[in-house]
Structure 1
């Protein structure tokens, strides 16, 4: 099935979902603009993604995923906000989306997280003397995650972690960072090849990725702090997804 040209023009920017007809469960949320992107997912045959796997399972049962429109006639900015809000409401862990979506800085938060974000004193990263690794998890973080899921998200699966870092034990503290705020602190006890330790996540990535094991440090002095740069702006995510303090 495809939208007609007139339907696409009438929809404008829209937010849609994919539904499993077996249990009427929404398993994917997306945003599109005057096109058939909502139906393009159904062509993803053989891809190693959770979404493609779910679609394959549905078809193996003799059914076909259902596409429904949640909101339409939106401007792009509003569409991104609606998409992110719905993902937050359902919970990323209950969907096959890989990231929370756009607009997550103002996304679903607990009261404690709001207090940490707006009430905690900013801390300049240059004043931190303890050797830490900062893991930026804002794209996949959700306040609906369990503690186990949050721990696994922070410690896995990181590319190009040097042998020096893994073997020296010099960096013993891991900070889980969301929008500049330290949402969790863990000790780093040891490093292992990705996918080799018990986890709530499945590893299907490429070699040369690593994960650590450790313990939660909920009373750590950096827990809940808002880390800022020299311009008093929240620290930005690095391309690799993690960085070192002090800088290596």
Structure 2
């Protein structure tokens, strides 16, 4: 069973289009036009085109593309800010706010025409949030927190080890690092995730991390998964990701 997956996008529409082009080339090479594409979340923040990313993915789903789009912690923070800009996500570090450039919310609002959000009064910014289309809000809020297919579980951040999938809570699915990242046990399926940025997509045996730092100027990783094996898609074709 073949599935394509794309790591954390973070407002980089050109990189997302490039990822889809790599998938189109692999589909042509293997003759499979049916395998779905899973986007593991963090569509927004840091990059310059969060609004464009959402519009692109919405449009694809509307025309019938088999695209699964998961919610990441940055997507949740964005939705939370729109609901109440004066209250931060309870898992965000107390040292920063959503609009802080380190988090990247300012760039997301900029993509909707709301400029200099971090340096202006929050009440002023709150009065301008009507510029963000209700359709974008509703669509983003409707996306699932995880997706299963074959021998893989796709999720933004990871799983709480030892807890059945149906009993996992959203805080962990969207935010967890330890103990998930340090747990070597098999989770019953290959966990394909992002959230924790590393230098390159890496297969650890029990999990596959796709967040190669697109939000920090590095490439957006795109993979094809067959069973529990995975290959990175490159302009030259597939590059095997050996199990660690």
Superposition TM-score tier, normalisation by shorter sequence: under 0.3
TM-score, scaled relative to structure 1? 0.25
Higher RCO, 1 or 2 (CA under 8 Å, sep at least 6)? 2
